[in-house]
């Protein structure tokens, strides 16, 4: 009787178990998203979100082959300090400023994948606005282009803009949120203010209010900081308002 119950439970959850085995890869938690083949950046009707439940759209996986093909020679190149096997592909939903559900994707280090997925889920559930979240590869790994498009992203094997130092993004341990409205602002040796992306000068004045602004103590900052991330907006010299790293 017990065996029968166990077998019927296993049958009922077989897909889920297979998926779990395929996805975990030793990272701990997560499951494949149950709706895996959505186009990043596309919208999902609210009725569909309600029907399937938001959880069905969220997942953490080893990098699918198609994503590895996309990343090789783009955000990931030989010499990268983190191997592809240590990176994870996150599928998620996020809400834009109009409150619509949008399909998002992100690559981060396996070390933080579960926490980042949980943060993204809370942001979605809370209606926190994020305009776009696709891989930097879809902008040719060009961070400036990706930022100008207000694209939130994680992994990218690159140096810190304007320096030769490797960025935490190259380890998959940093995430940028709504980067156009939350630029990186620094004062150069010439005393001049430098803003990245270059099109975000008007958003460097943090006393102004505009959509997608990251402010100290807002939900996004609180969630990342609770998981041990530093917020670049609290740094002393360079103010990297879009940036969270661990």
Does position 143 interact with Zn ion (CB under 5 A)? The reply is no
Residue entry with tokens 């891989």: 135
Stretch that binds Zn ion, among 51-59, 105-113, 172-180, 187-195 (CB under 5 A): 172-180
Which of residues 59 and 232 has its CB atom nearest to Zn ion in the complex?
232
- The two three-digit tokens of residue 151, written as one number: 């694209």
Closest approach, Cβ 243 to Zn ion, in A, equals: 3
Site for Zn ion in 68-97 (CB under 5 A): none
Which of residues 62 and 176 has its CB atom nearest to Zn ion in the complex?
176
Which of residues 103 and 174 has its CB atom nearest to Zn ion in the complex?
174
Point out the residue whose Cβ comes nearest to Zn ion. Answer: 243
Closest approach, Cβ 167 to Zn ion, in A, equals: 7
DSSP the chain: -HHHHHHHHHHHTHHHHHHHHHHHTTS-S----SSTTPPTT-EE-HHHHHHH-GGGG-EEEEPPHHHHHHHBTTTB-TT-SS-GGGEEEEEEEEE-TT--EEEEEEEEEHHHHHHHHHHHHHHHHTT-B--B---GGGGTT-HHHHHHTTB-B-----BPTTSSSBPGGGGT-EEE-STTTS-EEEE-TTS-EEEESGGGGGGS-TTS--TT---TTSHHHHHHHHTTPEEGGG-SSSEETTEEE-
Closest approach, Cβ 153 to Zn ion, in A, equals: 8
Which of residues 95 and 168 has its CB atom nearest to Zn ion in the complex?
168
Closest approach, Cβ 94 to Zn ion, in A, equals: 17
Closest CA relative to residue 244, chosen from 166, 152, 161: 152
Q: How many residues bind Zn ion (CB under 5 A)?
A: 3
Stretch that binds Zn ion, among 57-65, 108-116, 223-231, 235-243 (CB under 5 A): 235-243
Closest approach, Cβ 166 to Zn ion, in A, equals: 12
Which of residues 105 and 176 has its CB atom nearest to Zn ion in the complex?
176
Closest approach, Cβ 187 to Zn ion, in A, equals: 18
The only residue of 88, 94, 239, 243 in contact with Zn ion, by rule CB under 5 A: 243
Which of residues 61 and 105 has its CB atom nearest to Zn ion in the complex?
105
Does position 176 interact with Zn ion (CB under 5 A)? The reply is yes
Pair 93, 46: CB distance under 8 Å: no
The residue ranges that bind Zn ion (CB under 5 A) are 174, 176, 243
């Amino acid at each position: 009787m017990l065996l029968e119950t166990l077998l019927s439970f296993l049958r009922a959850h077989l897909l889920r178990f297979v998926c779990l085995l395929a996805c975990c890869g030793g990272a701990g938690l997560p499951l494949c998203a149950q709706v895996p083949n959505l186009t990043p950046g596309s919208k999902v009707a609210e009725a569909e979100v309600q029907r399937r439940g938001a959880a069905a759209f969220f997942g953490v996986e080893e990098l699918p082959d198609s994503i590895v093909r996309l990343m090789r020679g783009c955000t990931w190149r030989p010499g990268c300090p983190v191997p592809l096997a240590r990176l994870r592909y996150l599928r998620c939903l996020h809400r834009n400023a109009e409150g619509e559900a949008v399909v998002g994707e992100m690559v981060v280090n396996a070390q933080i994948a579960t926490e980042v997925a949980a943060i993204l889920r809370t942001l979605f559930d809370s209606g926190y606005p994020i305009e776009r979240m696709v891989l930097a590869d879809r902008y040719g790994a060009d961070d400036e282009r990706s930022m100008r498009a207000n694209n939130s992203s994680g992994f990218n094997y690159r140096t810190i803009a304007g320096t030769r130092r490797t960025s935490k993004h190259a380890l998959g341990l940093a995430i940028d949120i709504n980067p156009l409205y939350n630029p990186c602002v620094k004062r150069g040796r010439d005393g001049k203010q430098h803003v990245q992306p270059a099109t975000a000068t008007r958003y460097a004045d943090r006393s102004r209010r505009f959509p997608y602004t990251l402010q100290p103590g807002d939900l996004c900052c609180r969630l990342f900081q609770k998981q041990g991330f530093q917020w670049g907006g609290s740094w002393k010299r360079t103010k990297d308002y879009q940036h969270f790293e661990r």
